[in-house]
Amino acid sequence: MNLTPKEIVEYLDKYVIAQKDAKKTIALALRTRYRRMQLSQELQNEITPKNILMIGSTGVGKTEISRRLAKMMRVPFIKVEASKYTEVGFVGRDVESMVRDLVVNAISIVRAEKEEQNKEKIENYVINKIVEKLLPPLPKGASESKKDDYQRLLEAMEKRVESGEMDDKIIELEVAKLNVEFDDSNLPPEMVKVQESFSKMFENINKENAKKEMSVKDAKVALKAEAASKLLDMTTIQTEALKRAEDGGIIFLDEIDKIALSEKSQGRNDPSKEGVQRDLLPIVEGSSVTTKYGVINTDHILFIAAGAFHVSKPSDLIPELQGRFPLRVELESLTEETLYAILTQTDNSLLKQYEALLGVEGMELVFEEDAIRAIAQLSHRANEITEDIGARRLHTVLEKVLEDISFDADAYKGKTFKVTKELVHEKLDTVVEDDDLSRYIL
């Protein structure tokens, strides 16, 4: 969490082109959370997060920003789509389940950290268990010299197991049967205790271990999970995870415009849309949600909402919900120059991905500068003529250009194929300019 706003923006710049305002707003919101954690407990309770509403067409980087934030931040983070939730009483996901999902994510983060801290203990446990199976125990009453020889043999075997030399050997291992896990993320609070009872009941049934033959390589994986469950204190992990989710959790609420009630689409609206907004309101404002790991308070969870708002407007959301997203940021539509930058400047850009994919077939794919310019130009033109789907248009356009090359890739093994400006225009000119074709193909 200890990243400055500039460092956060620099990281996002590697993957998301333009959208400076959005990146700056998010960077400040994240830094504010870090600053809050350094204050006294009394003051911490008074400072509420400034939730963000990102407005922009599809494909301009809203979801990509959230994906990259999830990878960058070592805080509980989930991305959910508002359109998946329905009002209580309708068939669908209960809005409180997003908070339960956040807690599950927090537990996996804390557990991974604890496993890393106890890495040496876990590895020793795994190696000792495998060595026990590979070397028969020394008989009772063995002489001192035999014990010394056995100890040397034991140390040598440990090194061989650790180095992977024994990975192909087959051993018989007692593996604990998997417990039946119930997903409580969509259950109302009163059902959580019931499902917990079922979990305990099945846990008691499955207590006995099953013997299985497996390779040493597979045994390392199986025993690692067993070692972690024995060596780690899950109660401490759950307590810390709940605390982290409360203080540092981020919920990215995508497609929020899909639950807005616009005048234009009133006739087609699902009657539960306004109900979802009203159910969402107490969670965003701050309330207590029951999970099977304990009660979590949502007062300090940061909500980042995003939507295209093509049909509806932010003002179509209920006033109370609008007021809970005080920071508004509008993402700009992508220009031809921006599309070119997305192809050439981002880490692991689409061009690099295609070059690597076709490199698997033994061919070298090279994009000429003029060809990249033409791809950006025609993608922008297609966005102007038909629906503007932003950077997603690049996927469709590149697939159309490389379709035949990809199909005949085996014929180019050991050769270099250059994608030229002429090839791009040959594949796309007719499609882009023909309105009907463009709608169906691009």
Q: What is the structure's pLDDT at 267?
A: 45
pLDDT digits (tens, 9 = 90+) for 245-261: 998 899 999 989 888 87
- How many Cβ atoms are within 10 Å of 408's Cβ, its own excluded? 12
pTM over 0.85: no
Give the type of residue at 251. Answer: I
How many angstroms separate the CA atoms of 104 and 303, rounded?
A: 17
**384 pLDDT higher than 90:** no
Block residue for tokens 């400072």: 47
Q: What is the structure's pLDDT at 301?
A: 92
> Class of the 5-109+240-330 domain?
alpha beta
326 within 8 A of 50, measured Cβ to Cβ: yes
In the chain, what percentage of residues exceed pLDDT 90?
Answer: 25
How many angstroms separate the CA atoms of 227 and 115, rounded?
A: 10
189 within 8 A of 221, measured Cβ to Cβ: no
Coil/strand/helix, residue 210: strand
92 within 8 A of 344, measured Cβ to Cβ: no
Output DSSP code: residue 169. Answer: -
Least confident stretch, 18-27, 95-104, 269-278, 362-371: 269-278
Tokens of 257: 């415009």
Delimit the domains of the chain by residue range: 5-109+240-330, 119-231, 336-432
Q: What is the structure's pLDDT at 180?
A: 47
How many angstroms separate the CA atoms of 343 and 347, rounded?
A: 9
User: Which DSSP string do the residues of 255-299 spell out, in sequence order?
Assistant: -GGGGS--STTGGG--TTHHHHHHHHHHHHH--EEEETTEEEE-T
- Average pLDDT over every residue of 418-429: 90
Q: Which helix (H) or strand (E) holds 148?
A: helix 144-163
Q: What is the structure's pLDDT at 194?
A: 67
Block residue for tokens 């989710």: 245
339 within 8 A of 398, measured Cβ to Cβ: no
Q: Which one has a higher pLDDT value, 193 or 276?
A: 276
Region 336-432: CATH code: 1.10.8.60
How many angstroms separate the CA atoms of 70 and 330, rounded?
A: 21
How many angstroms separate the CA atoms of 14 and 31, rounded?
A: 19
Give the type of residue at 34. Answer: Y
pLDDT digits (tens, 9 = 90+) for 62-103: 888 888 887 787 788 999 888 888 766 565 568 888 999 999
Tokens of 58: 């599809």
